[in-house]
Structure formats: C-alpha cells, structure tokens
Amino acid sequence: MIRMGILGCAEIAFRRFLPAIKDNKDFTCVCIAEEYDKSKLEQFEKEFGLKSADSFQDIIEDENIDAVYIPLPPALHFPYAKAALEHKKHVFVEKPSTTKYEDTNILVDIAKKNNLVLQENYMFQFHAQITEIKSLLDDGVIGDIRLIKSTFGFPLREANDFRYNKKLGGGALLDAAGYVTKLARLMLGDTVKVDTATLNYLPEYEVDMYGSATYSNSEGCVLQGSFSMDSYYQCCLEILGNKGRLFTNRIFTAPPGYVPLLDIETNEGKKQIKLPEDAHFARSIEKFLEAFENENLRNQMYKDLLIQARMVEDIKLMSKR
C-alpha cells in the first residue's frame, strides 16, 4: 500500500485526485496540509475523512509517507517537489512540473539519483481515446498525415485565480499551452521541436493570455496549436490526411463516463464513431504506481519531463517581449 500525502487543498485535488485514488486499492491518502487557505481543510476532512498535518514540511518529513501529490500553483511546484525528492518521497505533481527548464532538470537529477518516480500529471495522455486515434491513423483511415491542428481554450475565471498571477506562475503558456505542447509530443514523437510561437497579452492582465505555436518532427510532420484563457471553450484535435480528416472535441478533458465522438470524413462520405470512454486521472495514477517498480518507465518519465520543459521554454524564448 502506497501512503500519500497531499500538499494543498486545490480544487483539482478535491474533484479529481481524491475520488480517483479512493477507488485504487494500492493507495491510501494519509494526510493533507494547507498553508495558504486553511478554511478549505474542513471540506476535505469532511468529504474524504483525511487527517490534517500542520504544514507541507511535516508531510515531506513524515517517514510514514511514501509519496506526495502537489496540486499547488506552478511557481510552488519546484521548491516542494525538490524537498520531497530530497526526503526520498516519490512525487506526483500537477502540470507544469516547474516554471522553467533548469528547475525541471534539477528535479529529474534528484529523482534519478534516488530512484524515485517523478510524474507530471498531464493525465489526458493516458486516455484510451489517444490510443484509438493513433491506431486509426496507423491503419491509414485518412491516408498520409498532412497537418495536425489542436486548440485548448477556456473562458475567464474569477479575478483572483492563480492563472492571472505572475508570481504564482500564471499565464496561458504554463497552463493551456502545456496541453497542446504535450499533445504535440505524443503525436510527433521524440524528435518534436517548436518552430514558431507567439504569446499575447491583454492590458488588464500581467500574464500572457493567449497564443499559438507550430511544432514539427524530423519527418516534416507539423502540428499547429493555439491556446487561450479568455475564449469560449475549445478542446479539439483535427488531423488532415491526403485521403480524409479526423476531428474530436474533448481531447484534453474527457471526464469519466464521457464517450468521445470522432468525426471521420473521406471521399466516401462522413461518419461518426464512438471512442472508448475512460477515466484518465485514474489511468495516470495507475501509471504512477507502475513506475515504482519499473526503471524503464521512470526513465521514460524523466525524458518526457525534459522534452516538455524544453519546448515550453522554447515557446517562451521565441515569444519574448
């Protein structure tokens, strides 16, 4: 049984992580701590029966805890993940792993040295629909791929949301863009790179609010991505081939029980097929567990972390204002 501690009473911990881990017999949540808004603790204690720790450091130093989950704002990921890894704790951290490549590289080095799991929770990558879409592409349902497009955008949130706070690691690049970038990695493989990028600002906000990037691989396949924190909801993947087109509109956020729909259009006509429903948060936690005993998987996670962090850094540099 893996004993988990949670650093922070974030919404994603309440709505997604705890319900998923409650259904996994290999994990138990030992305790939770909150250092910024302790009023939230009561809700977590009541709903999930969790014991409260006095501080994040208490959880990190607790010898009875095997792993920590970090759902804090991005700027806080590095110091707490570093402390946890140094105390020989496996780390399951929300995306992005850190706010800069150098910090992610430090975390990877510590995790490698101590044979620890360090997983960045882009859970959509483990959804069964990704595997199914790749299988259809391999079968040539739309022929040779000519272009991939993806968009992730959502409406404005409350003004005090951490996404609009520069000191907390806010901005579209570290939020919505990370999903599109991770999808580019999944679709284009190890040789993926960023070719062009823009980050755009709005007068009333201190962080980037929308932007776009173009990615390619050594074979010349291209993904055009866009991302936004001030738009109507968009969550789509479109793939154009020389014989047809695929389109689906919940590629990043399909909830448990939701059946994704895939539109397929070719010269023979149009059809819509159902993709597998899945619980990608649960799948991500299962992958975290698998990595405890699988060195190859841990090494793959390290590699993926560095590729992701490098591409995000490249977007930042290409868009520097």
Collapsing DSSP to helix, strand or coil, 195 comes out as strand
Q: What is the pLDDT of residue 301?
A: 98
Query: For the purposes of burial, counting CB atoms within 10 Å of the CB of 274, is it exposed (0-12), middle (13-18) or buried (19 or more)?
Result: exposed
pLDDT tens-place string over residues 218-227? 999 999 999 9
Which distant-in-sequence residues (6+ apart) come within 8 Å of 19 by Cβ?
none
Q: What is the pLDDT of residue 38?
A: 86
CA contacts within 13 A on the Cβ side of 212:
9
Give the global pTM: 0.96
213-218-219 Cα angle (round to 5): 100
Catalytic option among 95, 182, 287, 316:
95
Strand partners, 149: 224, 238
What residues of the chain score a pLDDT lower than 50? none
Q: What is the pLDDT of residue 321?
A: 52
Q: Is the peptide bond before 73 cis (omega within 30 degrees of 0)?
A: no
Backbone angles phi, psi at 264, to 5 degrees: -120, 125
Q: What is the pLDDT of residue 153?
A: 98
Which distant-in-sequence residues (6+ apart) come within 8 Å of 45 by Cβ?
32, 51, 52
Buried b (16+ CB within 10 A) or exposed e, 206-222: ebbbbbbbbbbbeeebb
Active site residue 95: yes
Q: What is the pLDDT of residue 320?
A: 78
pLDDT tens-place string over residues 11-26? 999 999 999 998 899 9
Q: What is the pLDDT of residue 229?
A: 98
In angstroms, the CA 18 to CA 47 distance is 10
